[in-house]
Structures are given as structure tokens and as C-alpha cells.
Amino acid sequence: MSNTYKEQSKKVADYYDKWNDRYDAVYGKIIQAHRPPNDKDLLNYTLTSAGLQDGQTILDAGCGNCGPAIYFAKALKVYVEGLSISPYQVEESKRRIAENGLQERISVTCGDYHELSGLYTANKFDRILFLESLGHAGNPSSAIASAYEILKPGGEIYIKDFYAKKSLDNLFQEKINQVVSNLNRHYSYNVMDLESTIGALRKSNFEIDFIKRIDFKNDASIKNDFEAQFGIDLFEGMEEFYFAEWLEIKCFKPL
């Protein structure tokens, strides 16, 4: 597996060690930008769309402070493993898990999701979730390939993220590229390309269940508040426009 992701992974770890409390102050328990107004609605949507069910073993890859993991463990009879590359987030997650008395239902590990096959046994998980986390990857293809190894045959991977738009208009494409570059810089992100992501999933032998737009109306108020509070300006004087599309992708590992 290529090591080209290492530098980006270090940046992401440092970013969340520094910024976690700022997210916590604005976003609360769920660090996801594309969301309905209510956390419960977001997590119930994810639960249904990702096909989470009683009895499953689930990996939340890029788990943040384990807000989704805690919700899923309360809503269903599941066991959830959380994984964050940020030591600060891992310690915060452990505190929250203990506060909720869920130590028997949730565990959390500090590690890199490019290296899942070195962290977990093969064929371990029924579901692997990337909830606005795969876009931090330095090498999404490596993360996807590693996820395949630890997913049970018949298990599913669910990805919620956004993908840069493409335009035949060269000047408009330059604007898209500039905003994407600004976002990557401010958020320690690596906005993904949809075609490359689909190619990586198919190359890893995943079979696609669906690729679709997210079916709730986005409430951008929290994201806007966060950016205003911390001086994040993605458009730098340009008129705002839609430069990326939010999608959910679900694939399964053949039996």
C-alpha cells in the first residue's frame, strides 16, 4: 500500500487535536456539515440509509467524538468500533462513552483508516461508515481497499461526502478549483473526485448498491456560523455558487 497518505494523515490529526473544541462549541456532538436542523433526524436518516440493524458490528471510520456511535448504540443492539486519527478526539470519545455507560457496546481506537487491515481482523464488520470523513483521506483508494479486507462477505460500506463539480467552461472550472483549494486548506480536506471514487470501489471488488443525492434538505446555518466565527472564507470575494455535490454511496462486498 502506498505511503502517499502519511503527510495528509498527520495534518488531519493535528487539525482535529487543535480544532475539536471549536467544532464542539458550534456543531455539538455531531461534526457533519450537511445536515437537517435536528441531529436526531440526521442520525435516523443515516441509520436507515446505511442499513444498520440489531446484531451488527459496525465501524465508524473517522468517528469524531463518537456522537453517531453513541446514538446508534442506544437506538439499536449493535457493537460499534470508532476510529479517529486524532488522539484528542479519542480521549474525548472515551469520556463520552463512559458518561453514557456504553463501554460494553462501543470501543474507540486511535489510528489511520488507510491501515484498517492492520488494525482489525479480516471479515470483522457488517457495516463500515465514512460519515464526511473519507474526504480527509490522502489516498481514498487505499482507504477503500483496506476497508474491503475487514468487511464481512455480504457486508456494506456507506460513504456520505461531497464531490467537486466539473464544468466545460474553463473559467468556471477555475473558480471551482479555487474554492476547492480554499476548502482543502481551511479544513485539512482533500475533496474527492466522484469518478475516481467509483473507480476505486470497483477496483477493490465492491459492488454498487446505490449512488444518490441525500434526501433531506440541508440546513447550512451551523456551517455558516462556524465559518463566520472562525474567519473561514471559501469564496474570497467571489459570488457564492455550488461547487460540489453531496452524495451518499453504498456498496457491498460479494458473498
pLDDT digits (tens, 9 = 90+) for 216-237: 999 999 999 999 999 999 999 9
Kindly give, in sequence order, each residue whose CB lies less than 8 Å from that of residue 54, ignoring residues fewer than 6 positions away.
Answer: 76, 77, 78
The answer on pLDDT for 2 being more than 70 is: no
Average pLDDT, the chain: 96
The answer on pLDDT for 89 being more than 50 is: yes
Q: What integer pLDDT is reported at residue 3 of this predicted model? A: 57
| Amino acid making up residue 60 | D
Give the Å distances, CA to CA, from 51 to 44, 47, 79, 144, 170: 11, 6, 14, 19, 40
The mean per-residue pLDDT over the stretch 37-62 comes to 97
Which range marks the domain in which residue 142 is found? 6-252
Q: What integer pLDDT is reported at residue 94 of this predicted model? A: 98
The mean per-residue pLDDT over the stretch 155-160 comes to 98
In a domain, 159, yes or no: yes
CATH number at residue 111: 3.40.50.150
In a domain, 98, yes or no: yes
In a domain, 1, yes or no: no
The mean per-residue pLDDT over the stretch 139-164 comes to 97
In a domain, 87, yes or no: yes
In a domain, 25, yes or no: yes
In a domain, 151, yes or no: yes
- Name which of 64, 67, 84, 63 is nearest 75 in CA terms: 67
Cα radius of gyration rounded to whole Å, the chain: 17
The mean per-residue pLDDT over the stretch 119-134 comes to 98
The answer on pLDDT for 1 being more than 50 is: no
Q: How many domains does the chain have?
A: 1
The partner residues of 27 in beta bridges, in order of sequence, read: none
Alpha-carbon gap, residue 117 to 23, rounded angstroms: 29
